[in-house]
Structure 1
Amino acid sequence: MIEASVFIIIGQVSREEGGEKIQVHVMLAAPDEDSAVRETLNALAREGFAEADLDQIGLLEGMPDEEPHSTAYEGVLEGEVAVITFD
């Protein structure tokens, strides 16, 4: 079991400044909200996104029922940051 909380952050991202935005869900383990937001922005930059507007942050209290979130949750428990985009 992980010692950090599992967060989900919902927002909009684009690959270029001023570009068309798509919805994104980022799931990750972090000790607090500030760390979760910082790591989310770092992960989005690594994935090639130039802009991000983060709208909501929440805590997950267990594995989600539906894909792709349930598989992503398993990866988060192993230390991964899951970036799920919706085109």
Structure 2
Amino acid sequence: MTESPPLSGQQVRDARKGAGLSLRQLANLAGLSRATIHLIENGAPISDRSAARLRAVLPDLKPPASRLERLEAEVTDLRTRLDALTQGAA
């Protein structure tokens, strides 16, 4: 298993805001306290456990390989839809 790159508080804040989540909403989803999220976003060290929980609920924090796999799946899905549309139009 490859190790995920470390997270910064700014990455967490940007990902949270990008997902349209409040501190409390993210805390509830990740199983962490609101205070923990606040501390992380303001520069406190992030434990491996907290990082894993945050990555599980914020797609923008997933390691690059996971994002690539997700994009490849989306491209495959779009190709399938496009094929279905073009076959139906023919």
Asked which structure has the greater CA Rg, the reply is 2
If asked which structure has higher relative contact order (CA below 8 Å, sep 6+), I would say: 1
Please report the TM-score for the alignment, with normalisation by the length of structure 2.
0.27
Of Structure 1 and Structure 2, which has the larger fraction of its residues in strand?
Answer: 1
